[in-house]
């Protein structure tokens, strides 16, 4: 590595009101390096990179690129200095082509026609050079999430990025797409670029990063060479615990995988479901989830998981089909009947479907159970008891809030997720549908969620896990079902799963049916 780092952020401070989000954080990244930036919720990883990309203005501190101190007041400044950032949520125009999205905001040289042709040629060249295969003339709405990510990377490369920031880039990718992405990153650094990878996936960090910096509570904890650490040590540094949260998660996973035989708990027969546009997306779907079993759905986003989960929890009326929980037939019954029958749901969109943002934590936690006898006194809601249960949930689920009266909309995304999970598990469900349950949670919180799932299955709860994070599906499911275009295209028992085969099936490759 050169003596002068490609990037040096020196004692950067950023506050939001009374919260000190970055506490004199320093970071060095060399040229020709993939540098991992790790930490739990609220560690400050994304905030630090948002400062570098000009989305936030630092209160104090300095930024040097190739040894020269620079001033970055906007993303335009950052891009001009060779900094590119690919966010978790892609900023794309759905009905524009790849080329149109890449050049958006720039001025291709020449007349409109010749300029766009030259831009197209440049994008094709970058695509081939860095292994970022994409049809330059395809419209964005036609592309799966992995290809959309390549478009965002090409957008940064087209603008001349020499420092590329990727925020949790592998969450929605198949194993094959992860391998391809990492190969592209190695090509980039071999050509002199620097890559900063914001991630919580320890195994992937060790697979691709040359060095890694761990942050906690807005401060830099340690920078490590890949050869100096392993999974357990890195997890312990991240969460500040000597006992190793990674080991604890693995122990829960191993226990889950030991459970192999189950009595039927939930039976779905002939389910057909429309999407929001009236198109029948799920066709004659059959599924059995055992009492005490975790069945995981593996699929690329947009292949019917949301619609099926909503139909199986009474949120979306199916076109046809039957669902039984135990001996209770729930299809066609009111939502209250589903709730009374022990059905609980953690939705995909926590902001839109999971909370009432203007109401407090207490009110949000009582949703769905406010008619139950345990929540009422003298025919009215027992608000004193509800507040006490909310305070207990805040402590149990480590919800960061000033009080039970804190408005749900004022919480961070990870804390909103904890509120929704606390509400779901409080119902003591017989059928629990979890959609991306640990999105936005750190290792310690993820371990806690897995423990709660384990406790629920020990009591006979049937669990359906829907997650775009394939690692999570494979980690805690007793059985894995691959979905593609609303149909089941593969099924595996735990311990018999080849992640690459699952990846093939969930992207429409391979023969349909059970593996």
Inter-residue contact 467 to 299 (CB < 8 Å): no
pLDDT tens digits, one per residue of 263-304: 888 999 999 999 887 888 898 899 999 999 999 998 877 788
Integer Cα distance of 343 and 281 in angstroms:
23
Q: What is the pLDDT of residue 216?
A: 85
Integer Cα distance of 123 and 119 in angstroms:
6
Contacts 24+ apart (CB under 8 A), 394-397: 394/361, 396/422, 397/421, 397/422, 397/448
- Higher-pLDDT residue of 465 and 233 is 465
Could you tell me which residues come within 8 angstroms of residue 350 by beta carbon, excluding any fewer than 6 positions away?
Answer: 413, 416, 417, 420
Mean pLDDT of 485-492: 90
pLDDT tens digits, one per residue of 351-382: 787 788 898 998 888 887 656 656 566 667 77
Mean pLDDT of 384-413: 86
Burial class (CB in 10 A: 0-12, 13-18, 19+), 339: buried
Residue 506: name the closest of 457, 473, 476 by CA: 473
Q: What is the pLDDT of residue 377?
A: 67
Q: What is the dihedral of CA 293, 294, 298, 299, to 10 degrees?
A: 100
Predicted model pTM: 0.71
Q: How far is CA 96 from CA 91, 210, 302, 452, in A?
A: 12, 36, 19, 44
pLDDT tens digits, one per residue of 302-316: 788 889 999 999 889
Could you tell me which residues come within 8 angstroms of residue 75 by beta carbon, excluding any fewer than 6 positions away?
Answer: 53, 54, 55, 85
pLDDT at residue 70 tops 60: yes
Mean pLDDT of 468-493: 88
Beta bridge partners of 15: 20
Q: What is the pLDDT of residue 515?
A: 37
Q: What is the pLDDT of residue 514?
A: 39
pLDDT at residue 428 tops 80: yes
Residue 489: name the closest of 469, 503, 506, 470 by CA: 506
Provide DSSP, 92-111: --TTSBHHHHHHTTS--SSS
Token reading at 136: 């330059």
Mean pLDDT of the residues in the chain = 86
- Higher-pLDDT residue of 61 and 263 is 61
């Amino acid at each position: 590595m050169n003596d002068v780092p490609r990037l040096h952020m020196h004692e950067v401070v950023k506050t939001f009101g009374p919260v000190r989000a970055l506490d004199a954080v320093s970071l060095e990244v060399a040229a020709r390096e993939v540098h991992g930036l790790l930490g739990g919720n609220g560690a400050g990883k994304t905030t630090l990179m948002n400062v570098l990309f000009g989305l936030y203005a630092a209160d104090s501190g300095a930024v040097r690129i190739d040894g020269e101190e620079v001033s970055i007041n906007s993303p335009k400044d950052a891009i001009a200095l060779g900094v590119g950032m690919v966010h978790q949520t892609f900023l794309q125009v759905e009905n524009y082509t790849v080329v149109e999205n890449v050049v958006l905001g720039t001025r291709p040289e020449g007349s409109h026609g010749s300029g766009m042709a030259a831009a197209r040629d440049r994008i094709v060249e970058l695509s081939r050079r860095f292994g970022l295969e994409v049809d330059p003339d395809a419209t964005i709405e036609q592309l799966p999430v992995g290809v959309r990510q390549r478009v965002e990377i090409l957008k940064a490369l087209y603008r001349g990025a020499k420092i590329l920031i990727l925020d949790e880039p592998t969450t929605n990718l198949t194993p094959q797409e992860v391998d391809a992405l990492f190969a592209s990153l190695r090509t980039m650094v071999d050509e002199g670029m620097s890559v900063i990878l914001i991630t919580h996936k320890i195994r992937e960090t060790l697979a691709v990063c040359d060095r890694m910096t761990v942050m906690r509570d807005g401060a830099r904890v340690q920078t490590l060479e890949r050869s100096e650490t392993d999974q357990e040590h890195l997890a312990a540094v991240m969460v500040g615990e000597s006992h190793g949260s990674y080991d604890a998660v693995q122990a829960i996973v191993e226990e889950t995988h030991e459970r192999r035989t189950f009595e039927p708990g939930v039976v779905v027969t002939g389910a057909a479901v429309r999407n929001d546009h009236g198109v029948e997306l799920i066709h004659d779907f059959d599924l059995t989830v055992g009492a005490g079993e975790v069945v995981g759905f593996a699929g690329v986003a947009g292949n019917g998981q949301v619609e099926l989960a909503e139909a199986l929890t009474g949120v979306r009326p199916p076109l046809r089909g039957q669902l039984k929980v135990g001996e209770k037939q729930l299809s066609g019954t009111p939502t209250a009947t589903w709730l009374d029958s022990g059905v609980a749901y953690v939705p995909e969109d926590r902001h839109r479907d999971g909370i009432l943002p203007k109401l407090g934590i207490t009110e949000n936690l009582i949703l769905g159970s406010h008619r139950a006898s345990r929540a009422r006194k003298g025919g009215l809601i027992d608000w004193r008891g509800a507040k006490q249960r909310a305070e207990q949930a805040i402590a149990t689920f480590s919800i960061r809030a000033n009080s039970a009266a804190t408005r749900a909309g004022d919480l961070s995304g990870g804390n909103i997720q904890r509120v929704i999970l606390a509400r779901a598990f409080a119902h003591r469900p017989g059928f629990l549908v979890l959609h991306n349950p640990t999105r936005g949670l750190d290792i310690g919180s993820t371990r806690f969620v897995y423990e709660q799932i384990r406790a629920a299955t020990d009591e006979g709860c049937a669990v359906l896990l829907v997650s775009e994070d394939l690692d999570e599906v494979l980690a805690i499911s007793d059985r894995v079902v691959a979905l593609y275009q609303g149909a089941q295209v593969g099924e595996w028992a735990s311990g018999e799963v080849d992640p690459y085969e699952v990846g093939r099936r969930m992207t429409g490759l391979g023969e349909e049916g059970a593996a």
